[in-house]
Chains A and B, each alone.
Chain A
């Protein structure tokens, strides 16, 4: 079946520009996560959506980062006024229930390069 789809797969942008990254989760999955992966830094949690609950934004590194999830499905991560340190792979994952033992299904990520 269809997995988690992310677009674009690669994005090059100039410093100071805004970017939008899109995630299509697996149909029926109630939980959606965004992670950032920088070289040697592992998986950095950014934000978590669970059903209709208020999102857990505790991992967003600054107010330049925001995300929304429309209709409990597609999610968009927006980075405003991009900086070079924002360069990383942004991974989206979804899970069926969002409970601790519910496996995360990751997309292949969007590689963001800020020049």
Chain B
């Protein structure tokens, strides 16, 4: 049973455009929702995270939008740059549980 599902599987965006990656979860006990970014040859690194008590969190060009009723959250990358080309993983956890990761999506930003 896949508890965290990402879509699309891959994404190509033109430089300056908006990249949108979606994530759906099943377990209503989840209360922490991070996004991790991974560049080739490197391990994933925390990009941004949100708790369900807020509907949106913004850090620079990166924004998480959270929809508790739909059990979905998404990552928006504004003014996408070629340097944003990477694999993005959504994840979820609750209390003392370990993170459950989605399968990841590959974002390519064309110059």
Number of interface residues, chain B, beta carbon within 8 A: 24
Is B98 a contact partner of A56 (Cβ separation < 8 A)? yes
Other-chain contact of B43, A40, A56, A107 (Cβ < 8 Å): A107
Residue contacts A-B, CB under 8 angstroms, 24 given? A42-B103, A43-B89, A43-B104, A45-B98, A56-B98, A93-B43, A99-B95, A100-B31, A100-B93, A100-B94, A100-B95, A100-B98, A100-B99, A101-B32, A104-B36, A104-B44, A104-B99, A105-B45, A106-B42, A106-B43, A106-B45, A107-B43, A108-B41, A108-B43
- Contact bitstring A64-85, B, C-beta under 8 A = 1, else 0: 0000000000000000000000
Chain A at the B interface: SS class = loop
CB of A103 within 8 A of chain B?
yes
- Please name the residue on chain B nearest to A43 by beta carbon: B101
Is B49 a contact partner of A101 (Cβ separation < 8 A)? yes
- Please name the residue on chain B nearest to A9 by beta carbon: B41
Is B104 a contact partner of A42 (Cβ separation < 8 A)? yes
CB of A21 within 8 A of chain B?
no
Contacts of A98 in B (CB 8 A): 96, 98
